[in-house]
Structure formats: structure tokens, C-alpha cells
Amino acid sequence: MATIKEIRRRFELAPELPSGLRNRITITSRAKAGMMAGSLGDSYYRVQVQGKSYSNTHIIAMLADLPRWQELRRNCKRGKDVELVVDHIDGNTMNNASSNLRIISNRENVLAGYNTKKGTSRYRGVSWSNKENRWKAFIRCPDTKRNIYLGSFNQEQDAYKAYTIKAKALYPDDSMDLEI
């Protein structure tokens, strides 16, 4: 694993660049000082350090000294299952500004997932039923991994309220940003 000293020597934060990082030194003819660091693959930017591939978001978390980055680094170093992840707050994986990143548990990340389908609710756990002309609320049970039907509602906000109440009951230890 690359040392913190080596990473700080090679990279600096560059929120104006898509990758969020800039090379501080020239490493190769393709990775010159002042250029954007990282290449895009599978919707995420990655950099190479000492022959190993690293996620730009992990490097940015370290350079920006985001809360919990040392815990994230320890988990990665020990080869543990990924318990912590770097999340893009706005859901846009191309926005790697440190102000758009946070380190959260994998469970929190799943719960805060972003709805990418057009024509559905703006709230997690809520969808429109054309058949009933009402909003339906669902939540995934952590034990059975099955969806729990929470009811149908005239108002989208009411369906989301039912979702948040159940989410807080099912996941009491998670520090979720659920607003009712």
C-alpha cells in the first residue's frame, strides 16, 4: 500500500477537475505535473501509485482529511470487507470535489441510494403506481433482504414519511439524514 507521504508528494486536490486530483510532480510522459490525475473506468476515476490502483475518492478523502478516512484506510489495508465507503453526496460520481464526498457505512450508502429512474419519486423507498394512481412506499428488510410494503398514499410526502419511520425502526444505529 502506498504511504501517505508518497500520496501527498504526488497529488493535490483540484476540485475544478473532473477527477478531483492534480499531479504535483511528473511521473511519466502521460502524467505530468499540473495535469489531471487519474483515468476514468466504470464511472469512477482511479490513479496508479507504485504499481497499484487506487480510487481517486479514497485519495481525496485522505488529502482533504475527511472524517473517518483513517478508519477507511485501516479497513482497506487489512483487506476487510468494505464496511466503509466514500459516497458522493449528490449522487454524481463525476463530482469529486471534497465538499461532495463523505465516508459512511455501506449500509448507510445503500439506504441513501439515489433513484436514477425517470418518472418515479424523488424520495427513496417511494414509487408511483399507475394502476392505483397513488404513491406506494416500500423498504428492504435487513434480515430477509425482501421488500416490505408500507402502504399506498395520495401524497408523495406521506409515503416518504412512512418510509422514514420504518427506516429508523429497522436501522436505529445508522446516522441517516432522513427528514420527515
- One-letter amino acid of 76: C
Higher per-residue pLDDT: 111 or 142: 142
Residue 56 falls within a domain, yes or no?
yes
Residue 141 falls within a domain, yes or no?
yes
Residue 95 falls within a domain, yes or no?
yes
Residue 180: pLDDT band by 50, 70, 90 thresholds?
very low
Q: What is the average pLDDT score of the chain?
A: 85
Number of domains in the chain: 2
Mean pLDDT of 140-168: 90
**Domain end position, chosen among 108, 136, 155:** 108
Of 107, 93, 82, 174, nearest in space to 72 by CA: 82
Domain that holds residue 125: 115-170
pLDDT above 60 for 116? no
pLDDT above 60 for 128? yes
Residue 176 falls within a domain, yes or no?
no
pTM given for the model = 0.64
Q: What is the CATH number of the domain that holds 148?
A: 3.30.730.10
Together in a domain, 101 and 41? yes
Q: What is the CATH number of the domain that holds 87?
A: 3.90.75.20
Together in a domain, 10 and 96? yes
Report the share of the chain in percent with pLDDT over 90. 51
Higher per-residue pLDDT: 68 or 180: 68
Residue 178 falls within a domain, yes or no?
no
Residue 142: pLDDT band by 50, 70, 90 thresholds?
confident
Higher per-residue pLDDT: 141 or 61: 61
Together in a domain, 33 and 17? yes
Together in a domain, 93 and 146? no
Together in a domain, 35 and 74? yes
pLDDT above 70 for 177? no
